């Protein structure tokens, strides 16, 4: 048997070892790399189908990010106790890798490529998604798959004013920025960012800072390939030949189609045609052009259609770059007409409709109890989240007919981007103890529905009375780049996204950026392009925020009458058992009596979610009584509840609605002198007596003394003694 060859290369990345190993495992894949960063271990494989897939006009790349719960020593939740379909974090991580590598494959490639990242071990200080991205880059670079990499990827944080590379969990908690940068040695290819109102110039600096290390990672992978080739652990790149159409046919199509398409797009711009009218006219024109060319070239229908599509792309880009003409006649910085409406839906907790040109989104807010938060069953330390944004993209929004399924990767990705954009302004749980869910329904789509969702959701939150720190708006920027010249477009529509070079989504407040997402179709973008795009996006964002402010200047001062009311208090954690009761009996009784929901946290925080203010206050008073602190040495006016041969029981803090209060025993030895009388002749059930708390017995029960209370009263010369009926309310009364 041939001796197994293993190559292992190591570099230091942000003070921690990054190890790439090839040759040990998964040797039947086109390429397999075991990527280790700290104690995070990810197996990444890359495999390519030998033949192209027929009948498609796109590159069939699939990236799977497979989380294994054993990686963090957990058994999966659910009935089956095994991993099911990928969770949201896994989908977002797969998209992160896909968007970083997709621009670097040949445009005409039609062979299926499958990249699988299997998470085997997780060190929370060494992000598995970054380890997987680097592993994917290495696997593709070592394989025979054509790939214009390698790439590197890092996370950049902003802690105490300093940029930090691949921050630890502790640093992440304090960081104002979570920026993922991916790129080649030459340029940045992907950016994803969540931030707490960070200025544009700081974000550009952070991208440049991250790209410096990205270059080092790319060079490290290049060295790995050189050594792997020498050992036979890497493959020569497969050469693809994409047949070019005959020059005669190309010229014939150009002569017929280019003037017609150029004239059509100039007319669209001057007439300001909407999307449907433009698409209908373009489709009819293309069909006429194809029919005309088929008379001369009857066997070349597919090639003719492909050439017409190429000409259309070139015409649109040249009109923008050379003649300064956009398809809808706008200037490069112009935003389409905006319309804002709030409070559309009478029974929801908050709603808003945001329209920008032919992009329209309805966002709806629902407020729930703290216990309604989402439970997370993934590999992160975070176990739940109280703010959720969900995004729906039905087929009618683009005039299509297709079945509606559960959310796909695109919907999950767009929803998460909006959630990230708004997260920075959501009030803390202590200030606003609600679980918050926002749903964005896309009603029309022609350019960045995700950024329209940011605007609509921000308005819906304010309409619901959620005290967000500041309104957030978003805008999508495009790019037309020819050699060294470039033009940045504000508020791109679908056509400019499809035929342009970049989709750069920017969201933020007046103070700064809260979220970024950049996808490109070229080999990379420069610092100058990024800075220009961010500056132009800020200008647009401030204009949109002003329009939003006119519709709703600030969060409404009151919640919707249909929203639940949440009251909160903090008790001694040792008193939690008094609220819960044996087997949950007490808390169930409170819920049954008042109709509220109660969430009890381990640290003593209690949240009461009530259908009305009165029900919430009723439950609050019950819990206050149940958890009232009784001070040793304090004198109380109590009520006798039972009389026995050995003393009497006195309730010093009354129960409510059938629930027990606070009572203790006045032993016969601690009662006032009986003077030869029996106990029942001196006190009876229902009598009010003064007692002093003198301590607790071995079982934690209150010990009370009537003698000590009377002695203290005599020492004070008959002054009034305070009577406590609750821990926060004190009444004065004269002693009997």
Q: Would you state the torsion angle of the CA atoms of residues 87, 91, 93, 99, taken in this order, to the nearest 10 degrees?
A: 180
3-state helix, strand, coil in the chain (%, to 5): 35, 30, 35
Which conformational region is residue 527 in: left (phi greater than 0), alpha (psi within -120 to 50 degrees), or beta? Answer: alpha
Task: Give the DSSP letter of residue 191.
Answer: E
Residues 6+ apart with CB under 8 A from 193: 177, 178, 179, 180, 203, 513, 515, 516, 517
SS in 3 state form for 417-465? HHHHHHHCCCCCCCCCCCEEEEEEEEEECCCCHHHHHHHHHHHHHHHCC
Write the DSSP string, 121-161: E-BTTB-HHHHHHHHHHHHHHHSSS--S---EEEEEEEETT
Binding residues for Mg(2+): 497, 503
- Rounded to whole angstroms, the Cα distance separating 547 from 341 reads 11
φ, ψ at 595 (rounded to 5°) = 75, 25
- Rounded to whole angstroms, the Cα distance separating 584 from 589 reads 9
Q: What own/partner pairs with CB < 8 Å and gap ≥ 24 does 453-456 have?
A: 453/361, 453/363, 453/389, 453/391, 453/414, 453/418, 454/418, 454/421, 454/422, 454/507, 454/515, 455/340, 455/354, 455/356, 455/361, 455/544, 455/548, 456/352, 456/353, 456/354, 456/361, 456/362, 456/363
φ, ψ at 31 (rounded to 5°) = -160, 145
φ, ψ at 401 (rounded to 5°) = -120, 110
CA dihedral sign, ordered 424, 430, 432, 433: positive
Q: Name the nearest CA neighbour of 72 among 60, 83, 61.
A: 83
- Rounded to whole angstroms, the Cα distance separating 322 from 312 reads 15
Binding residues: 497, 503
Task: Give the DSSP letter of residue 525.
Answer: B
Q: Which helix H or strand E contains 528, and what residues bound it?
A: helix 527-551
Q: In 239-350, which residue ranges form alpha helices assigned H by DSSP? A: 247-271, 275-294, 301-323
For 734, the 3-state DSSP assignment is coil
- Rounded to whole angstroms, the Cα distance separating 84 from 353 reads 36
- Rounded to whole angstroms, the Cα distance separating 720 from 1 reads 98
What is the side-by-side order of every strand in the sheet holding 565-570?
565-570, 605-610, 597-600
Q: Name the nearest CA neighbour of 234 among 5, 2, 3.
A: 5
- Rounded to whole angstroms, the Cα distance separating 179 from 255 reads 47
């Amino acid at each position: 048997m041939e001796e197994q060859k293993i190559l292992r290369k190591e570099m230091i990345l942000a003070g921690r070892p990054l190890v790439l190993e090839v040759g040990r495992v998964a040797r039947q894949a086109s390429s397999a790399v075991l990527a280790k960063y700290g104690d995070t271990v990810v197996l990444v494989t890359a495999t390519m189908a030998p033949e192209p897939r027929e009948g498609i006009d796109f590159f069939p790349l699939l990236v799977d990010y497979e989380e294994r719960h054993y990686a963090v020593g957990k058994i999966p939740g659910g009935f089956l106790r095994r991993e099911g379909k990928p969770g949201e974090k896994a989908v977002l991580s797969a998209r992160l890798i896909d968007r970083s590598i997709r621009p670097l494959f040949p445009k005409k490639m039609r062979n299926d490529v499958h990249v699988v990242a299997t998470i085997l071990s997780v060190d929370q200080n060494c992000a598995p998604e970054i380890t997987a991205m680097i592993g994917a880059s290495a696997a593709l670079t070592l394989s025979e798959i054509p790939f214009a990499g390698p790439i590197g990827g890092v996370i950049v944080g902003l802690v105490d004013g300093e940029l930090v590379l691949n921050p630890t969990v502790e640093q992440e908690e304090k960081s104002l920025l979570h920026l993922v940068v991916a790129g080649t040695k030459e340029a940045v290819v992907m950016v994803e960012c969540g931030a707490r109102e960070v200025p544009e110039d700081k974000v550009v600096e952070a991208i440049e800072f991250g790209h410096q290390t990205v270059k080092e990672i790319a060079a490290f992978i290049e060295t790995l390939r050189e050594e792997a080739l020498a050992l036979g652990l890497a493959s020569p790149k497969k050469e693809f030949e994409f047949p070019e159409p005959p020059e005669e046919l190309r010229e014939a199509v150009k002569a017929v189609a280019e003037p017609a398409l150029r004239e059509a797009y100039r007319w669209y711009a001057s007439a300001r045609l909407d999307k449907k009218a433009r698409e209908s006219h373009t489709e009819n024109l293309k069909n006429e052009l194809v029919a005309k060319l088929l008379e001369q070239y009857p066997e070349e229908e597919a090639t003719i259609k492909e050439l017409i599509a190429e000409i259309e792309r070139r015409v649109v880009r040249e009109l923008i770059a050379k003649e300064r003409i956009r398809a809808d006649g706008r200037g490069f910085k112009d935003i389409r007409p905006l319309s804002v409406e709030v409070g559309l839906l009478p029974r929801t907790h908050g709603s808003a409709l945001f329209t920008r040109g032919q992009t329209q989104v309805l966002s709806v807010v629902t407020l729930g109890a703290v216990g309604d938060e989402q439970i997370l069953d993934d590999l992160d330390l975070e176990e739940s989240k109280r703010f959720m944004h969900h995004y729906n993209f039905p087929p009618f929004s683009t005039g299509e007919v297709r079945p509606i399924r559960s959310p796909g990767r695109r919907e999950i990705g767009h929803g998460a981007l909006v959630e990230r954009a708004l997260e920075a302004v959501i009030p803390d749980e202590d200030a606003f103890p609600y679980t918050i869910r926002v749903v964005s329904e896309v009603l029309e789509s022609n350019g960045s529905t995700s950024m329209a969702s940011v605007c609509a959701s921000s308005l819906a939150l304010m309409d619901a009375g959620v005290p967000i720190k500041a309104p957030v708006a978003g805008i999508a920027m495009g790019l037309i780049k020819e050699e060294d010249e470039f033009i940045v477009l504000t508020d791109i529509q679908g056509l400019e996204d499809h035929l342009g070079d970049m989709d750069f989504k920017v969201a933020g407040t007046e103070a700064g950026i809260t979220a970024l997402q950049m996808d490109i179709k070229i080999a990379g973008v420069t610092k100058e392009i990024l800075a220009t795009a961010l500056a132009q996006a800020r200008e647009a964002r401030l204009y949109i925020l002003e329009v939003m402010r006119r519709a709703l200047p600030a969060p409404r001062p009151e919640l919707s009458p249909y929203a639940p009311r949440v009251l909160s208090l903090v008790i001694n954690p040792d008193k939690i058992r008094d609220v819960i009761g044996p087997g949950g009996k007490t808390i169930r009784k409170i819920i049954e009596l008042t109709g509220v929901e109660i969430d009890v946290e381990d640290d003593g925080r209690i949240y009461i979610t009530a259908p009305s203010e009165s029900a919430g206050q009723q439950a609050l008073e019950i819990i206050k009584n149940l958890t009232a602190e009784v001070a040793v040495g304090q004198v109380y006016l109590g009520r006798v509840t039972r009389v026995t041969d050995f003393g009497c029981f006195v309730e010093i803090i009354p129960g409510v609605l059938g629930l027990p209060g606070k009572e203790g025993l006045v032993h016969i030895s601690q009662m006032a002198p009986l003077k030869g009388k029996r106990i029942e002749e001196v006190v009876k059930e229902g009598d009010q007596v003064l007692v002093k708390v003198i301590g607790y017995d071995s079982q934690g029960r209150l010990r009370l003394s009537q003698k000590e209370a009377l002695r203290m009263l005599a020492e004070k010369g008959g002054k009034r003694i305070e009577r406590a009926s609750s821990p926060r309310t004190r009444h004065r009364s004269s002693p009997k």
